[in-house]
């Protein structure tokens, strides 16, 4: 990956269109949206036009074949996350997956293992963890030291890191694949 990450979005409707694309990917100086995918052709064409995205697909496999895509944001129903994330890793694409990562612990481990094996980064979009109300609700349950570490980009008590660029949290290096 260069200094600008070239993104493809799998599941371009819903949360991707309402929040992640306009608030995360498009305004980030280090991101470029190069492809979007959705099974609804009319919807994906609309999203591509709305954000001036040069390529659109109705198949995740086709998007993953695109050499311009370096990283994918997966915003589809959770029952297809494992299939899509593993396929992305196998194609050498970095993965940002909407929460929850998978339906089961075994599926989550498959995704983690696939990403580690392929040498790609994996992150889970836990946007609500950085919201003021969520942070405040957890305050009585953390010590002052762990709370300050948790919100300054360092490892939190749960082994999660925060990306200051996007307010996205991801598993830290402490998470081990089976």
- Check which CATH number belongs to the domain holding 73 and give it: 3.40.50.720
Q: What is the rounded average pLDDT for all residues in the chain?
A: 81
| The token pair that represents 177 in the structure block | 């694949």
Write out the residue range of the structural domain in which residue 114 sits: 5-125
Asked if residue 157 is part of any domain, the answer here is: no
Cβ(48)–Cβ(21) under 8 Å? Answer: no
DSSP H stretches of helix in the chain: 14-15, 41-50, 60-65, 81-90, 105-118, 132-138, 144-150
Q: What pTM did the predictor assign?
A: 0.74
Asked if residue 169 is part of any domain, the answer here is: no
Asked if residue 148 is part of any domain, the answer here is: no
**What average pLDDT does this structure show over 135-151?**
45
pLDDT at 163: 43
**What average pLDDT does this structure show over 155-163?**
38
Among 51-65, 111-125, 160-174, the minimum mean pLDDT is found in 160-174
pLDDT at 44: 98
Of 86-95, 132-141, 156-165, highest mean pLDDT: 86-95
pLDDT at 47: 98
pLDDT at 12: 95
| The token pair that represents 150 in the structure block | 């948790």
**DSSP-based three-state secondary structure for 154:** coil
pLDDT band at 16 (very low <50, low <70, confident <90, very high): very high
What total of structural domains would you count in the chain?
1
Asked if residue 132 is part of any domain, the answer here is: no
pLDDT at 109: 97
Residue 113, number of CB atoms within 10 A of its CB: 15
């Amino acid at each position: 990956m260069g200094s600008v990450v070239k993104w493809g979005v799998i599941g371009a409707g819903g949360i991707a269109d309402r929040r992640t694309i306009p608030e995360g990917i498009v305004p980030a100086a280090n991101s470029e949206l190069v492809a979007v995918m959705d099974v609804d052709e009319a919807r994906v064409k609309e999203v591509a036009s709305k954000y001036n995205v040069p390529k659109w697909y109705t198949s995740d496999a086709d998007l993953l074949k695109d050499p311009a895509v370096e990283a994918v944001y997966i915003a589809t129903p959770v029952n297809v996350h494992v299939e899509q994330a593993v396929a992305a890793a196998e194609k050498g694409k970095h993965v940002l997956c909407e929460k929850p990562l998978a339906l089961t612990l075994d599926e989550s481990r498959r995704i983690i293992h696939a990403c580690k094996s392929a040498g790609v980064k994996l992150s889970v979009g836990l946007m609500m963890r950085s919201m003021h109300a969520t942070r405040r609700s957890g305050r009585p349950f953390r010590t002052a030291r762990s709370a300050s570490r948790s919100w300054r980009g360092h490892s939190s008590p749960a082994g999660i890191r925060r990306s200051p660029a996007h307010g996205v949290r991801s598993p830290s290096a402490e998470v081990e694949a089976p």
